[in-house]
Chain A
Amino acid sequence: MVAKITPEIAKQDGYKFGFNDNDRATYKYRTEKGLSEAVVREISSVKGEPQWMTDFRVKSYHHFLERPMPTGFWGGNIQNYELDFDDIYYFARASDRAEQDWSDVPEYIKDTFDKLGIPEAEKKSLIAGVGAQYDSEVVYHSIREDLEKLGVIFVDTDSAVRDYPEIVRQYFGTIVPPADNKFAALNSAVWSGGSFVYVPAGVKVDIPLQAYFRINKENMGQFERTLIIAEEGSYVHYVEGCTAPSYSSNALHSAVVEIIVKKGARVRYTTIQNWSTNVFNLVTKRAAAYEDAVMEWVDGNLGSRLTMKYPSVFLMGPHAHGEVLSLAMASDGQHQDAGAKMVHVAPDTTSTIISKSVSRGSGRTSYRGALKVHAGAARSKATVRCDALLIDQQSRSDTYPLMEVEEEQVNIGHEASVSRVGEEQLFYLQSRGLSEVDATKLIVNGFVEPIVKELPMEYAVELNRLIELQMEGAVG
């Protein structure tokens, strides 16, 4: 049984990004609905891509066809949903190129991002660079001049294929090969947009680079492809936010993110996913961390109908450290199947997974995690901690941890807890004057605090606000 999400339900949830621009949106170009080799070739040709990329896409497309839907361990029961690959637009172009001047962005798109607060953040210099993707392609991209002079590259991935082919070709598809899973294959076939970030050795980008992803069209698929390369001793924090209008039929978001963290470098990747509740969010995110490198995923999943996302770190060099802080919130009809994967390949590597999930109403959260320690990864240390909070009687949470350890000299800790918002806690807070709703909000805010405090200030504020919106009407 699958609950149907209507725009009305989405509205009741107080989803403030549910507006669309369909009255004014004019696409310069759009492929026909559905997927075929011709569509894949068409996307590549419209983009004027080199032959190697066309070949990569076509090969990936055939792999996608051959590959069955994920079942069994890795999957949030996607086969139970009526996701029709032929009912989706795979590519739509709203603008001819990624503008570098905000005033050159088409008016209706500008309005959308204005409403989402993108230019504001840039004006206030809260970010070092910004990218904004509207449906398939990036419509705006800019980076602070001083960073550009230091050799930092922050462009959309389409431009990167054109302008930095030697770097892209060296790394593209090496961390997440097309054959990795069905949705990685799909993305590899039809990918468009996404961010390309290159940080030269020793350069530390002091404030975050930000990207914003927006699905506007009904039945649209968004398949951005992000590639981040942090050279030795560098640092970068990349932040992405995602929203979509509330339609009655489904949209699909299936991104691939690949990150290479070289010796002594550190990358932090923060996502606040707040898709509307008709979006399938099926994303493959993976990083390779080399000697002494640090890779951190901060992953907040609030929106979507079904999310399947397990950010991974392959710890390839000695003393590499991987971290995943995962926060999932599921309200009525939503399923957040989120988690993490840590693969210890080199000795003396360490990893930490902290997962916090909140379910309310008929919402369901699952933690799905994998920890693998290869033979030879001696003295590796891994910690997994999953906490689930249930708001009411019908909400549900499950934990599926998988562990595979081939090395004896390891130190592994796993802790899990499930708690329900307790009558005694509510009574205590109510006795101090707080209404039942405010008391519940406070308990939830406290529960997610360890994750929220890791976010940049303005994101933390926004996230707390979103959580409060989700909690309105949750009780009483």
Chain B
Amino acid sequence: MADTLLTIEGLTVSVEGKQILNGVDLAVGRGEVHAIMGPNGSGKSTLANALMGHPRYQVTGGTVRFKGEDILALSPDKRAQRGLFLAFQYPMSIPGVTMVNFLRQAMKAVRGEDVPVREFREKLFATMKLLKMDQEFARRYVNEGFSGGEKKRAEILQMGILDPDLAIMDETDSGLDIDALRTVAEGVNALTTPKLGVVLITHYQRLLNYIKPQFVHILYQGRIIESGGPELALQLEAEGYDPVIEKYAPALVAATGEKA
């Protein structure tokens, strides 16, 4: 791919001494939407956190190149400044800090220069409108007392304001009822541009009814065991994870020396 945004090769990651990712390969280009699916404990969130540079997730091998640059040695803020974004599964609350203050600082930090107040406000209110958020929301403290749906919308709002090149969404659908899910998905679709690459991490297929991926990957025991098109997600929805896991079990046993 000429315009490959993100290239992951042989990535292995440990958390507190326990290896979770056992060699992940993935390439994401601009304008592409990739879904990474897998059962609980397969390493989906580990992949998301390791890509963003969480200090507790130790990369023990492999490479991650983003826009041609090896980013593994960069701190999370530097990765964000390069255009990487992670929508958190469990966003943290920051008591006493208003959304508007936080977003302005974040926008300034990612751009590396001051943002004129007017420009910031226009962008903020336009994005909030897109996500059907009341303006009052900007005055609330970051994630403090937000409902599950509000938290997820606030993550997408941040994505809209920071305008990344690659957005990783970690279980953005979890904890949402169908209406909230639709609003969030519509927001993501509205923010999608030809320059943006998206990695959707999800356990369930239902999010993919609203955000259509061109590529679907199945992560199992720290490896991508199968990749395909949207039909793969539908197959999972119909049959569950068991058939595909069974299909790959012999290969896994061969690779790890233990039964899956």
Residues in A lying within 8 Å of B, measured CB to CB: 422-425, 427-436, 438-439, 442-443, 445-450
Contact = CB atoms under 8 A, between A and B. Distances in A.
A206 B9 CA distance: 67
Given A432-B158, A450-B96, 14 more contacts: A428-B91, A430-B53, A430-B76, A430-B77, A431-B76, A432-B102, A432-B109, A435-B77, A436-B77, A438-B109, A445-B96, A445-B97, A446-B94, A448-B96
Interface stretch (B35-43, B80-88, B132-140): B80-88
Interface in B40-89: 52-56, 75-77, 79-81, 85-86, 88
A432 B97 contact: no
B139 to A, nearest CB: 12
B106 interface: yes
Nearest to A428: B92
B64 to A, nearest CB: 15
Interface in B195-218: none
Nearest to A451: B96
Interface in B106-130: 106, 109-110
Contacts of A432: 77, 80, 102, 106, 109-110, 158, 162
A429 B56 contact: no
B55 A433 contact: no
Contacts, number: 79
Contacts of A423: 55-56
A450 B141 CA distance: 12
Nearest to A476: B75
B193 interface: no
Nearest to B82: A433
Interface of B: 52-56, 75-77, 79-81, 85-86, 88, 91-92, 94-97, 102, 105-106, 109-110, 141-142, 158, 162
Contact of B110 (A433, A443, A449): A433
Most buried by A among B76, B88, B95, B141: B76
A427 B158 contact: no
Most buried by B among A423, A432, A435, A443: A432
Contact of A449 (B77, B79, B92, B97): B97
Most buried by B among A427, A428, A431: A431
B92 A424 contact: yes
Contacts of B106: 429, 432-434
Given A427-B54, A428-B88, A428-B91, A434 B77 contact: yes
A428 B48 CA distance: 13
B231 to A, nearest CB: 33
A189 B85 CA distance: 64
A427 B96 contact: no
A446 B76 contact: no
A420 B80 CA distance: 25
A427 B109 contact: no
A425 B96 contact: no
A435 B79 CA distance: 11
Given A430-B76, A431-B86, A432-B80, A438 B94 contact: no
Contacts of B92: 422, 424-425, 428
A400 B191 CA distance: 52
Nearest to A356: B96
A432 B158 CA distance: 8
Contacts of B81: 433
A433 B97 contact: no
Nearest to B108: A433
13 contacts: A423-B55, A425-B92, A427-B52, A430-B75, A430-B80, A431-B52, A432-B109, A435-B75, A435-B77, A442-B97, A442-B102, A446-B96, A446-B141
B198 to A, nearest CB: 16
A443 B143 CA distance: 13
B96 A449 contact: yes
B76 A427 contact: yes
Contacts of B158: 432
A329 to B, nearest CB: 15
Given A434-B77, A434-B106, A446 B97 contact: yes
B206 to A, nearest CB: 26
Given A432-B109, A432-B158, A432-B162, A447 B96 contact: yes
A446 B92 CA distance: 13
Contact of A425 (B79, B86, B94): B94
Nearest to B93: A425
Given A423-B55, A434-B106, A442 B94 contact: yes
A443 B79 CA distance: 21
